[in-house]
Structure 1
């Protein structure tokens, strides 16, 4: 897992249940961090022994430094910090330097209650730590005490001994996980190709470089009992639309009609192309093109990353539409409220503007 393998393939290799592996990982506190290493520019034990020999031989600090290829000031500070010329000992100096290098510091969120309150409020609004860190930098550019890195927020959430953020705030994270882990390896899903399709390489150049708005990426997300919702993400602005499917019907003709009804509500300059994966629900893509004039392009097999904006949006959407929820119980008004909240969240790729702001600027 430290090498990058996810929990599921790791469990397969061991012949264990995935839940067993994950439970064990949580009990252990996640993947063990890499051991401490001496920085390349620091003095080594061998160099300290040379310093000790030179001092015993009565050499000057400049001569010792020249023999080591170090600055005289480096050797001077080393000797003065460890007893001076008469009391300097290499082994004791090396142990002392290693101990001082740990430099334990108080957690920033624990020592600044105002900053902690702001971070907690944004977490409960389902902002990611990276979004919070970027927003704080834009909102308080001249107040470093009101800025914190996203890594500090994650560490404070996952390591409760830091004593700042409450553990239960992890439920507001998109993934909901309670430990840090390496990035997993996504396994292929085995979906095949579709006939009579236009390949993504034939998509216009303006869609590829996100130069103008109007080029969309789409997919279906499924809930309990295979209840689907269609997602559409505009490539330039990351603006999200959610389309409910009547009675949870995700057959190709029903999907084409539902998408056509949603796309025809858009201004003409926002309806240019649609990129989809090779799912069977888009078998009636020609029907959609006839109804809307939007040309549909398809990704390579097993290549969801080719419509990465949509994949990212689907991940964010799981905070609101978890797999255990039956989406057929939701109305289009419910889906519109969820889309509005996501479109009001700042995005790093937009310079921490919201998709709604980016879309308004693009239309102007």
Structure 2
């Protein structure tokens, strides 16, 4: 008997993320943006099976972009682990992600970095509002249908720098870079 693909995806374990910790269990300091250290993450997709990881610090709205060669969990988690080592641990305590198929390896990320991963409720990506807003801003640089694989990490860093040097009304017209650098200075 033939099975529809939709039925198979619902009943089998294809890309399902096990042992997730709900966003509702995230610390109150992440929800109210009281202190820096909590990040929202996602993949921004282009054409030709290309993608970049977007990370946004919730309090300062500081953006980091990561070149990702593939959307499989091994590649994404390895890139996130490598990137996590570049920030002071005091500024990277949690990561909130949607329930995309790229994060079944979230436990390996947590073990390697001591950074807890929280997940949005199913079909509720707006629970990571900072990241969703940033992805919208990034579409000014990467319109839908753009092949993201042609961008080097240096070029992604330059685009992130532009966004981080853009004054934001929500930050009382400070820039994310100013707020983030103040946070770095106050942790040292």
TM-score normalized with structure 2 length: 0.88
Structure showing greater Rg = 1
On the 8 A contact 2:43/2:53 being kept in 1, the answer is: yes
Deviation at 1:207, TM superposition (A): 1.0
User: 2:162 is paired with a residue of what secondary structure?
Assistant: helix
SS of 2:66's equivalent in the other structure is strand
Pairing of 1:197-216 with structure 2 (within 5 A): 197-216=20-39
Answer 1 or 2: which has greater strand percent.
2
Q: RMSD across aligned C-alpha pairs, in angstroms?
A: 1.5
Structure in which a larger fraction of residues adopt helix: 1
Q: Report the counterpart of residue 140 of structure 2 in structure 1.
A: 319
User: What SS class does the counterpart of residue 280 from structure 1 fall into?
Assistant: coil
The within-5 A match list for 1:288-303 is 288-303=109-124
The Cα shift of 1:307 comes to 0.3
TM superposition shift of 1:361: 2.3
**Structure 1 residue 304, shift from structure 2 partner:** 1.0
Instruction: Output aligned runs, 1:171-250, within 5 Å.
Output: 194-245=17-68, 248-250=69-71
Find out whether 1:340 has 2:161 as its counterpart: yes
Deviation at 1:273, TM superposition (A): 0.2
Asked whether 1:264 is paired with 2:85, we answer yes
* Structure 2: distance between partners of 1:204 and 1:337: 32
Partners of 2:58 and 2:118 lie apart in 1 by 14
CA contact (8 A) 1:193 1:301 kept: no
Deviation at 1:194, TM superposition (A): 2.7
Tell me by how many angstroms 1:225 deviates.
1.5
1:193 positional shift = 6.3
- Normalised by the length of structure 1, the TM-score is 0.46
CA distance in 1, matches of 2:105, 2:17: 11
SS of 2:149's equivalent in the other structure is helix
Q: Given the alignment of the two structures, is residue 287 of structure 1 paired with residue 108 of structure 2, yes or no?
A: yes
Determine which of 245, 248, 253 is the counterpart of 2:74.
253
SS in 2 for 1:316: helix
Deviations 1:241-282 (A, max 9, x none): 00101xx31100110000111111001111100000000101
Aligned residues: 172
Q: Which has the higher contact order (CA 8 A, sep 6+)?
A: 2
Q: Judging changes above 3 Å, is the alpha-carbon distance between structure 1 residues 224 and 210 closer, same or farther for their aligned structure 2 residues?
A: same
Q: What SS is found at the alignment partner of 2:180?
A: helix
- SS of 1:225 mapped into structure 2: coil
* Inter-partner Cα distance in structure 1 for 2:53 and 2:79: 9
Contact 2:97 2:119 in 1 (8 A): yes
Runs of at least 4 residues of structure 1 off by over 3 A?
Answer: none
* Residue aligned with 2:102, SS: helix
The secondary structure found in structure 2 opposite 1:282 is coil
Q: Distance in 1 between matches of 2:123 and 2:16?
A: 9
| Structure 1 position 226, deviation (Å) | 2.4
